[in-house]
Amino acid sequence: MKMSTLTLGFLSLGFLNTFSYASQPVLISDVDFNDPQFSLCVEKQNQPVLEKIKALNCNRMGIHSVDEIQFMPALKVILLSNNQIETIDTSAVVNLERLVIEGNQLSSLDLSSNQHLNFINVRNNQLKTLDLSQQSQLIKIKADYNQLSEIDFGSSEALVAVEVNNNQLTRIDVSQLTKLKEVIAFNNPLTDIILPSTNELELLSVEGTPYAKNQTGTLVGKGISNIESPRVSIIEGGLISKNDDKYDMFASQLVTPSVGQYIGIRYAVEPPIQDNDKAADPHSKMRVKFPITVRMTHPEIIDPKTGKRSTVSSWTDTMFKHNNNLAMWYFGDKSELVSGRWTLEILYAGSVLAKRSFEVANLDELAAEKKRELESRKELLKVVLTMNKTLCGGTKFRRCMEFSSTDHCEVNIEPYKKRCMSIAFDKAKKQAEKGTSKDIIRMVFSHYTACVGSSYIQESKLDAKKVGLCFRQ
């Protein structure tokens, strides 16, 4: 049977389309996932057909790769908080409305294909730039605690709240965001911010920026938070353990932490009290979050990797207007379990608002010290019991002191043992208060040898100069 070129062309096209369609996975079971943890999460959604999956909730699952979202075009919600994801390609999920991928390792993010996004949370990543110019339906963006030096908000008519605190932004342009109510941008090297002229912000938090310092005295009445300090009260402090997402505190000033535990405080925050003599800030009562620095002064810690020594550590954080704030130090390595006095402080706008001290006792360290002390005592006892035998076992000592044999030596120096041992220990303790047990033993032996030698020389009528010359040879 003969076929025309056109017929062959149509058949070939149909074959290719069929092949292409067949190569696209339909079921979860058709996919060979790069990351077994992501596979486990997808399977838990109880929807075997890939194109029918509309939401993924995969928080805290140790996921590294989510490449297979390209096979889930119906996705509207992606929740991937606190994983180890370095890259994500969302170009195939064009209907995406909500993206939460905080606490990962993203250094870049392309959202140009996701024009239906209304909520984005990318906080706690390593992003350096962020382009939101295509997100015309975006209502809220949380991009704090990154490394952002540039962010493009475009001209969204829906954007209401922006959180970009703790980044590297020097300039923010929100002039085209006509519905914007809140901008949280504290702890940035911010020198310029262009605000919308058509509406007044309810809150602009820019504490800790050069911009805030330059605006002192002009903040009140512009929706810009001034630097009146909130009120902080410590509720409890002590040793803290984490169980799932809950932090349990054992309140105590004396704490005995292990690796994986915390010490810190639980505290409450209330808005500042307005002074009647000053212009009241109408927005202070609306503040629900405040930028702070947490400072911990501690005994010397030596980094095992770099050898760097430190006695003060500090980090930026955010406290909220409620009574369940936590400020904590995490013991992530044995090198940090140092016994001594630890003092935690909360600073806001350069002032200390709260302070609590703890006495940290490293039980392993104390046990090791006790063990070392016991071993030292055993070694000293051994030295005491064998001192004369060790001394007389030395050929040079016997020759210079004119002893004919080891037994002859031991018998003749035995009368001086008790007195010389006492003298040797007293002198060694005074000279080696901070020395090791080996230092003390060395000194004891040295002083004992000198005492026994001089005592025997004096009573045996040996020539002291001759003996001294012999020992120096």
Compute the distance between CA of residue 417 and CA of residue 228 in angstroms, rounded to an integer: 75
Instruction: Give residue-wise pLDDT tens across range 395-410.
Output: 888 898 888 998 998 8
pLDDT recorded at residue 279? 45
* Of the ranges 2-6, 26-30, 266-270, 413-417, the best mean pLDDT one: 266-270
Q: In what order do the strands lie in the sheet with 289-302?
A: 254-255, 351-360, 340-348, 289-302, 309-320
pLDDT recorded at residue 2? 40
Half-sphere exposure of 321 (CA within 13 A, CB side): 12
pLDDT recorded at residue 377? 66
The pLDDT of 296-303, averaged and rounded, is 92
Does residue 365 carry a pLDDT above 70?
Answer: no
Count of positions (residues) in the chain: 473
pLDDT recorded at residue 433? 60
Task: Express as a percent the part of the chain with pLDDT over 90.
Answer: 40
Q: Residue 16 contacts by C-beta under 8 Å, 6 or more apart in sequence?
A: none
Q: What is the DSSP letter of 268?
A: E
Q: Indicate the pLDDT class of residue 37, thresholds 50, 70 and 90.
A: very high
List strand residue ranges (DSSP E) for 72-185, in order: 77-79, 98-100, 119-121, 129-131, 140-142, 150-152, 161-163, 171-173, 182-184
Compute the distance between CA of residue 190 and CA of residue 16 in angstroms, rounded to an integer: 56
What the chain holds in terms of domains, given with CATH numbers, is: 5-214 (3.80.10.10), 231-275+286-361 (2.60.40.2390), 372-472 (no CATH)
The pLDDT of 158-179, averaged and rounded, is 92
Does residue 20 carry a pLDDT above 50?
Answer: no
Does residue 299 carry a pLDDT above 90?
Answer: yes
What sign for the dihedral angle of Cα 7, 9, 12, 18?
Answer: negative
What sign for the dihedral angle of Cα 404, 405, 406, 412?
Answer: negative
Instruction: Give residue-wise pLDDT tens across range 224-256.
Output: 554 567 889 999 999 999 888 889 999 989 898
Which tokens hold the place of 2?
């003969």
**pLDDT, greater one: 289 or 173:** 173
pLDDT recorded at residue 376? 67
> Which of 164-173, 239-248, 265-274, 402-411 is least confident?
265-274
Asked whether 205 and 288 are in contact (CB, 8 A), the reply is no
Does residue 192 carry a pLDDT above 80?
Answer: yes
Q: Which of 69, 146, 46, 164 is nearest to 106 (CA)?
A: 146
Compute the distance between CA of residue 129 and CA of residue 415 in angstroms, rounded to an integer: 85
Does residue 370 carry a pLDDT above 70?
Answer: no
> Which of 194-203, 265-274, 370-379 is least confident?
370-379
Report strand pairing: 254-255 vs 351-360: parallel
Residue 347 CB-density burial (10 A; 0-12 exposed, 13-18 middle, 19+ buried): middle
Asked whether 295 and 251 are in contact (CB, 8 A), the reply is no
**Average predicted confidence (pLDDT) for the chain:** 83
Task: Express as a percent the part of the chain with pLDDT over 70.
Answer: 83
Instruction: Give residue-wise pLDDT tens across range 76-117.
Output: 999 999 999 999 999 999 999 999 999 999 999 999 999 999
pLDDT recorded at residue 314? 85
Give the H/E segment covering residue 351.
strand 351-360
- CA triplet 333, 334, 336: central angle to 5 degrees? 75
Compute the distance between CA of residue 20 and CA of residue 16 in angstroms, rounded to an integer: 6
> Which of 28-42, 120-134, 352-366, 425-439 is least confident?
425-439
**pLDDT, greater one: 279 or 70:** 70
